[in-house]
Structure 1
Amino acid sequence: MKQPTLAAAVAALAFASPAAAQSQQEQLDARYDRALAAGYKALFLCSAIANAEANGVTRSVESVERWELTGIQAPLDTIVPTLEYRVMRAQNGEGVLSYVEVDWADNMQPRLAWHKEEGGCSLGPIGMAVPPEREKLPRSYPDAIVNDHDRIITGKRAEVFDAAFDGSYGKGSRTTAVIVSGQSGDGMWRYAGDFGPATPQRTWSVAKSIAATLVGVAVQRGDADVTMAADLEVGPTDPRTDITIDHMLRMASGRYSDTPGNRTDALYFGGSTVAETAAHWPIVHAPATVYRYANNDTLMAVRSIDHVFASYAPADFFRQVRMGNTVAEMDWRGDYVLSSQVWSTAPDLMRFGQLYLNDGKLPDGTRILPEGWVKYVSTPSGPQPNGPLGYGAGFWLFNKSEGVPPDTFAAMGNRGQYVVIVPSRNVVIVRRGEDPVGSRFDIVSFTRDVLAALED
């Protein structure tokens, strides 16, 4: 029998190696996807249930599975329903939610998300066996709240509200809440069955607008300046020292991002930290020359002011503006994930919008945002996104939208979270949703129709 030559053997090995490597990579990716899916499930079960109960309302596991855990990104959508979980409570299962664990691999620890005494939940890194040492959780819940689901709405206003909930503004969209209100706080509202005025949902990227607002509050107190260098912890000869907080807020840092938005799955669902995830990206464009929407830019804008949080935390701001049912969650090492991981109710987001209607002043006239801040966040400056919307500093702009006042700007987030602010009409519109991937709620058309209905 003829023996293969060395050259032939080497050629055969070279031919086989890519296929073997690809198979190994596919297996590794599939394993990582299971770990991410388990982290997603653990964090959402923990946050949705614990944050609701902190507000005096109840979310069942079945409700979270029906809303937050369906219609999510592939391939997690097919993995999440298959994963076993345990919701662990204090006081022999009768007290407050303590942590959630989700199984994902036989030879690995379950993914772990735990409820923190200061509010919200944090997700541990893949492989963490037990939550870090925590202070004692409260022993009881606040008194239950009776949700006022609807305010009587008639005429064209009712038609617009009906359309928001029946999918007319986006096939397959799932609206959970709508509020329309003016500066006085009077208005109209409606909620889906599992939701009410005290039921929080994850804001997703509406948190970026909250982050920009926290920067503004720090500027008003004299603790920050948007023209100062962002805290990237690089040496003096690194060109990234030219990146300012303003560049970060306007998505114009010039840093590389591997996907639109940077996805940050490792942070959001994998249990990595803000410091590990957001700081290290290299520069590929001069700052202020290219628009690139990136979670990491918002995360670094927040890290640039995190030295003030010891004396003035996000929770202090929420209390000041009467957003008492809102919580900013942290990574497991204690940094705020203010690009996405805030849980808030529809009325709290209405109050957030009204702060901007009132030019950054509280109802008693106390100014907490700098004079001119509303114009700053709602004015395009430098590079702009392609498409029908503009971008300011942490807010989207409806300055190119036909039939909508050009001063309209909005906080917008994944799965249909919107806070639309129309200064010239003295109106705020809040729409919450759990829209599936591939289904988009047409917020511009909805805004136009709401404003027309208000004239009726």
Structure 2
Amino acid sequence: MTKILASVSAAALFAVACAAGTAQETAPPRPVENAAAGPARSADEQTAAAMSSRSDVSRHDAARGAGYRALHLCSGLFESEMSEELVYATLSRSSRASSDLKDAIDRDARTVSVTYLDDMPPRIAVYRDNLGCTQLPIGASIDASENLIPWPADLPTPQLDSENWPMGDMNATADLPAAKSAALEAVLDDAFLDQEGPFKGDTWGVAIILDSKIVAERYEEGYDKHVSARTNSMCKSLSVSLVGVGVQKGLVDINAKAPLSAWRTPGDPRGEITLNDMLHMASGFWTSGPGNPQLDIYGSGAPPVEISALNMMDAEPGTRFVYSGSDTILSTHAVREAANIGDEWISFPHREFMWKLGMTRTAIETDWKNDFLISGQCWSTVRDFGRFGLLYLNDGMWNGERILPEGWSEYVSTPAPAQPRSTLVGGAGYGAQFWLYGEDQGMPVNGYSAAGALGQYAMIVPDKNLVIVRRGLDNGEGISIAEFTAAVIAALETE
């Protein structure tokens, strides 16, 4: 990025994060008054207390905006290694955020409260070690944080920076021949031109990993290899990985029906859903797109086990692609139910997956009932997702241990039975929680990527033994990751 994108509002970041990834199968719903705000009332009927901080949005919208703000500030200040200036700059400087919302940051308790209405409690986000921040539900006081499972006191975060790459950061890089290096640096120059460059977007971090070594790496001012930022839907690829861990351990079968206990009542149509369906974004649940019920999961503190798992059906499982984060979250919840390990679940992703790869600066945040909001509420670094990509290049093997089932890389990168309509006009395809790219998107070979809103990518190109991690805050035309990948491949083939 040529400058910090401080003009990106919290509401805009939130809405784009929910909607990223694909054109929806149904037309966007017409704007309607939010039901939670109640029926329209005249000015005389509205109390001064209810209106004193309302601005021009409904009460529910105001609550969601305050909740998202509290969560971003909490995660940025206490989880990421961002400067405080950068945390605020990547949130908002809009007049509504500065005048209608009032922040209270408790650095000792590591909480953030945002006041939004005079007649309601503030929205609160609470930090826990290794878990980032959790947003308490609308109307909750700090007492609701007593529901949060604490991080185990006897499970310290591994200190791996001094270990060799990829577990740590030592000996991580390799030199390329001069011609290849110059060509690759020129591609990165173009990437960091942002909207003025050929790839568009607004880039803050890139790492190019060839044959398991970093051959190019660059960061915008304020970021570096240890600064984490919100991944948005890149996080979905972590979900399918945790399901893979569950399969490898014999906890779950992706083809078994009714992976959630809530769906096992005889005759319940949801009992036909499989993990395979959900990982392919084809559960059959009703949704008008990722904004329903995703907006309330991310902004209201609504637990997915209530608002998503008990949803109604709209299509036969496996027959219709709808990009919905609820499918992702419920897939991971199915592993939680199957593991049945109580409070130990809170550290399961770390012990059984992330820390085994050296991903010690990645946090998957939870709701207030301790379910991982793994559809997009994660914070991570460029290098951590580089490690993630290397695991998939190695088909789930790491340091001699099989972490994911044999063939899992092929599974996630195989086109799902139901595809997004955007593929009809050259858009990326979909596998299992990964987006698929190839010649139709302008790449010389096939690749598959973890991908999230505002330009978060970890592109895996097996034929080239290549991982490309690109992080950004795209404000305007988003980066063409396929064109960028093609340019990187061409540079690496320079003679």
User: Smaller-chain TM-score range?
Assistant: 0.7 to 0.9
RMSD value over aligned CA atoms? 3.0
CA contact (8 A) 2:174 2:214 kept: no
Q: 401, 404, 407: which one pairs with 1:372?
A: 407
Distance of 1:359 and 1:366 partners within structure 2: 11
Matches within 5 A, 1:342-381: 342-362=378-398, 364-381=399-416
Matched with 1:84 is 102
Distance 1:136 1:342, change over 3 A: closer
Residue deviations 1:227-258, cap 9 Å, x none?
A: 01231612220121111000000011111102
Letter in 1 for 2:489: L
- Structure 2 SS opposite 1:338: coil
What is the TM-score with the length of structure 1 in the denominator?
0.83
- Structure 1 SS opposite 2:401: coil
- Structure 2 SS opposite 1:305: helix
Distance 1:78 1:420, change over 3 A: farther
CA contact (8 A) 1:299 1:337 kept: yes
Matched with 1:287 is 317
**How far apart are 1:23 and its partner, in Å?**
5.1
CA contact (8 A) 1:116 1:137 kept: no
Matched with 1:393 is 432
Residue deviations 1:354-400, cap 9 Å, x none?
A: 000111100x2211111111111100131111221110011110035
**How far apart are 1:29 and its partner, in Å?**
5.2
Q: 94, 108, 125: which one pairs with 1:113?
A: 125
Distance 1:233 1:80, change over 3 A: same
**How far apart are 1:84 and its partner, in Å?**
1.7
Farther-moved stretch of structure 1 (270-279 vs 286-295): 270-279
Matched with 2:90 is 67
Matched with 1:298 is 328
| Number of residue-to-residue matches in the alignment | 414
CA contact (8 A) 2:293 2:307 kept: no
Letter in 2 for 1:455: E
Distance of 1:127 and 1:256 partners within structure 2: 27
Farther-moved stretch of structure 1 (27-36 vs 203-212): 27-36
Distance of 1:430 and 1:300 partners within structure 2: 27
CA contact (8 A) 1:398 1:407 kept: yes
Letter in 1 for 2:254: V
Matches within 5 A, 1:129-278: 129-131=141-143, 132-133=145-146, 154-167=181-194, 168-169=197-198, 171=200, 173-229=201-257, 230-231=259-260, 233-234=262-263, 235-260=265-290, 262=292, 264-278=294-308
**How far apart are 1:407 and its partner, in Å?**
2.8
**How far apart are 1:439 and its partner, in Å?**
3.1
Farther-moved stretch of structure 1 (59-68 vs 399-408): 399-408
Distance of 2:232 and 2:61 partners within structure 1: 21
**How far apart are 1:262 and its partner, in Å?**
3.2
Distance 1:334 1:21, change over 3 A: closer
CA contact (8 A) 1:390 1:400 kept: no
- Identical columns (%): 36
Farther-moved stretch of structure 1 (78-87 vs 201-210): 78-87
Matched with 2:361 is 325
Which consecutive unaligned segments of at least 5 residues does structure 1 have?
A: 1-19, 71-76, 91-96
CA contact (8 A) 2:411 2:431 kept: yes
Distance 1:21 1:272, change over 3 A: closer
Letter in 2 for 1:191: Y
Matched with 2:134 is 122
Letter in 2 for 1:244: T
**How far apart are 1:294 and its partner, in Å?**
0.7
Distance of 1:47 and 1:352 partners within structure 2: 21
**How far apart are 1:78 and its partner, in Å?**
6.0
Distance of 2:123 and 2:241 partners within structure 1: 33
Distance 1:68 1:381, change over 3 A: same
Matched with 1:93 is none
- Structure 2 SS opposite 1:343: strand
**How far apart are 1:406 and its partner, in Å?**
4.2
CA contact (8 A) 2:158 2:360 kept: no
Matched with 1:448 is 486
Letter in 1 for 2:260: D
- Structure 1 SS opposite 2:376: coil
**How far apart are 1:33 and its partner, in Å?**
1.7
Residue deviations 1:257-308, cap 9 Å, x none?
A: 0234536111111111121221122111111111111111111111111132
**How far apart are 1:22 and its partner, in Å?**
4.2
**How far apart are 1:118 and its partner, in Å?**
4.6
Letter in 1 for 2:74: C
Farther-moved stretch of structure 1 (79-88 vs 287-296): 79-88
**How far apart are 1:163 and its partner, in Å?**
1.5
- Structure 1 SS opposite 2:77: helix
Letter in 2 for 1:348: D
Distance 1:226 1:261, change over 3 A: farther
**Higher relative contact order structure (alpha carbons within 8 Å, sequence separation ≥ 6):** 2
- Structure 1 SS opposite 2:402: coil
What is the TM-score with the length of structure 2 in the denominator?
0.77
- Structure 1 SS opposite 2:262: coil
